[in-house]
Structure 1
Amino acid sequence: MVTTSRDPSVRLRLFAKELCLLLPGARRMNRGHAELGALVAACRGAGVTDLVLLSETRGRPDGLCLCHLPHGPTAHFTLSGAVLRQEVGGLGGAPLAAPHLLLLRLDSALGRRVGTILKHLFPVPRPDTRRVVTFANEDDVILVRNHVYRRRGRKVELEEVGPRFQLRPYLIRLGTLDQGDAADVEWRWHPYTATAHKRHLLAAPTPAP
């Protein structure tokens, strides 16, 4: 289930709609004035497996919260560089089949954990699926891309269909979204420590030559 913060802008509503095209089987729910507790309870009652909450600042999508149901965990990400499908300029209608997933350079312990949280949004694809969703780590920013491909003889044509955006994790809690600060913190980003600028959190360190 995909929903937004209260009183969303037109662009955030469009982005939520396109995120549903990226995630097979996802549906969009109007937030209205519902509290977080009511949202999570409604999703549990309907048998929803994941709740995605999008937020914005001045009409610009800048936050994504992913809550696995019924017990968690809940991962919080900053979101940047959101580009809608019509702005990407790809195909008019992307296939809704479950895609193959590429998790690139998410090979540290934290990277694997974040990759596991993300990949469980997607069902197992059919072998003949022509869609690929990529989560590529670049300096602890996860680039999210959605492509379709076609075979023409010996050639393979790859085309981006969108939406396109970047994610950066900053908090993982072991509980659900409605538990808030009562849920235990599994991991939190500490940008102000003395070594923060030297570390790559999502990728395993490169061995010295």
Structure 2
Amino acid sequence: MGGKRKTNENEGMEGEEDSKHNIKKMKKEKSEILPSSIKNKEKRSAVHAKLKHQKKLDKRKKLKARDATAKRALELGEEPPPKQIPRTIENTREADETVCMPDDEELFAGNDADEFSAVLKQDRTPKILITTCRFNSTRGPAFITELLSVIPNSHYYKRGTYDLKKIVEYANNKEFTSIIVVHTNRREPDALLIIGLPDGPTAHFKLSSLVLRKDIKNHGNPTSHEPELVLNNFTTRLGHRIGRLHTVLFYSNIRVLALHTPCALDNTVKYVPSLSNLIFSLVRLFGLRVSDFVVDLYIFESKEIKQSESKGKKAKDTKGESISKEKVIARLQECGPRFTLKLVSLQHGTFDTRGGEFEWVHKPEMDTSRRRFFL
């Protein structure tokens, strides 16, 4: 009888422990419920805000612990722990055989004889013709007006019923160096066609995420200064060619052009902008698979900084005197437009849909990975 009572007591204690364990497990599962699984909007928002706040606190705590460990190691004369390299799309991009190397002599020789060399060597002055497709939209003219204010020495011509081949012939006779055709669909600009003259190439871009100047909060207005062009990550053969195609649109005799590539190619055009121009346009083109076109202004502001200084030796009665000094601070102000370009095709020569030879064409089966870039 005593043994049976002991076994019953043990079974009861084990049952209580199991029930406590189950309660803890249920509480843990409740705390790990995803906000997306909650149907009530208010509860879902509250849970999401709580999780976000907790994640922020944990991150801050982790950073403080890491800084304290590094500081302790420096005080003890030991080596601090190695800095962690963040995982980004750029440093995890898939390897590409067409990436330009600094010692690529074939690429250097090709730059001196390609279609853009005449403009980049200043043998020809850039002159851009901007037109539209045959069916223009209500937002197209506003976009073209902002392009005219950004691209130097650009001129707008109404398309009318003229064929594009006739426009290319006319532009060659008038010594234009490039043609930009703004294509619209459903009253919205959706594509850009850039044609290099007189021998091409022709690049077709898909245009998306267009934001005009009036829609940008606290936007600036473009000035009459020559633009500075900054190209980042145009590392492949195709990207290098597309970068030069954009370069001939903005290139000027004042040499305020800055071309930045990770490869640091020796014979690519690289100039340091003149600091005498206090305010001038900045055109940024980041070229991976998608190019983001942003127009910014360099603004130099002078701000007063107060510094406290005391005369003579320090004493109880001496008071510090504040001296104000001016310090020049540079910042960027976006003036628009802002849009995204995605390369669809690159064609040899000028525009020809029937007999044209394509250098590169984008196909849907190419988009197998987000870490694969073509430019």
Shorter-chain TM-score above 0.5: yes
1:162 equivalent among 322, 336, 340? 336
Contact 2:197–2:350 (CA under 8 A) maintained in structure 1: yes
TM-score, length of structure 1 as denominator length: 0.88
- Coordinate RMSD, CA, aligned: 1.7
Classify 1:96/1:180 alpha carbon distance in 2 versus 1 (closer, same or farther; 3 Å).
farther
For residue 146 of structure 1, what is the amino acid of its counterpart? V
Q: Give the match's secondary structure for 2:145.
A: helix
Equivalent residue, structure 2, for 1:199: 372
1:122 equivalent among 250, 272, 282? 250
Equivalent residue, structure 2, for 1:182: 355
Classify 1:21/1:7 alpha carbon distance in 2 versus 1 (closer, same or farther; 3 Å).
same
Deviation at 1:168, TM superposition (A): 0.4
Equivalent residue, structure 1, for 2:285: 135
> Is the counterpart of residue 111 in structure 1 residue 239 in structure 2?
yes
Distance in 1 (CA, whole Å) between partners of 2:145 and 2:281 is: 18
- Give the structure with the higher percent strand: 1
Distance in 2 (CA, whole Å) between partners of 1:185 and 1:193 is: 16
Equivalent residue, structure 1, for 2:155: 27
> Is the counterpart of residue 87 in structure 1 residue 215 in structure 2?
yes
Aligned residue runs from structure 1 range 4-83, under 5 A: 4-83=132-211
Classify 1:24/1:156 alpha carbon distance in 2 versus 1 (closer, same or farther; 3 Å).
same
Contact 2:135–2:184 (CA under 8 A) maintained in structure 1: no
Q: Give deviations 1:143-169, integer Å, cap 9, x for gaps.
A: 000011122233102100001110001
Distance in 1 (CA, whole Å) between partners of 2:371 and 2:295 is: 31
Unaligned runs of 5+ in 2: 1-128, 257-273, 302-326
Greater relative contact order (CA < 8 Å, ≥ 6 in sequence):
1
Quick check: which has more Rg, 1 or 2? Answer: 2
Q: Give deviations 1:18-73, integer Å, cap 9, x for gaps.
A: 11111111011111111112111111111111000011110111100000111101
Q: Give deviations 1:122-155, integer Å, cap 9, x for gaps.
A: 12344244221000135x1100000111222331
For residue 298 of structure 2, what is the amino acid of its counterpart? Y
Deviation at 1:180, TM superposition (A): 2.5
Deviation at 1:194, TM superposition (A): 7.8
Q: Give the match's secondary structure for 2:223.
A: coil
What is the total number of aligned residue pairs between the two structures?
199
Distance in 1 (CA, whole Å) between partners of 2:245 and 2:365 is: 26
Q: Give deviations 1:66-124, integer Å, cap 9, x for gaps.
A: 00111101111000011111112412x31133211111122122211111111111123
Amino-acid identity (%):
29
The more displaced of 158-167 and 34-43 is: 34-43
1:145 equivalent among 284, 294, 308? 294
Deviation at 1:193, TM superposition (A): 4.4
Superposed structure 1 runs of 4+ greater than 4 Å apart: 193-198
Unaligned runs of 5+ in 1: 203-209
Distance in 2 (CA, whole Å) between partners of 1:196 and 1:120 is: 32
Deviation at 1:173, TM superposition (A): 0.7
- Give the structure with the higher percent helix: 2
For residue 18 of structure 1, what is the amino acid of its counterpart? E
Q: Give the match's secondary structure for 1:120.
A: helix
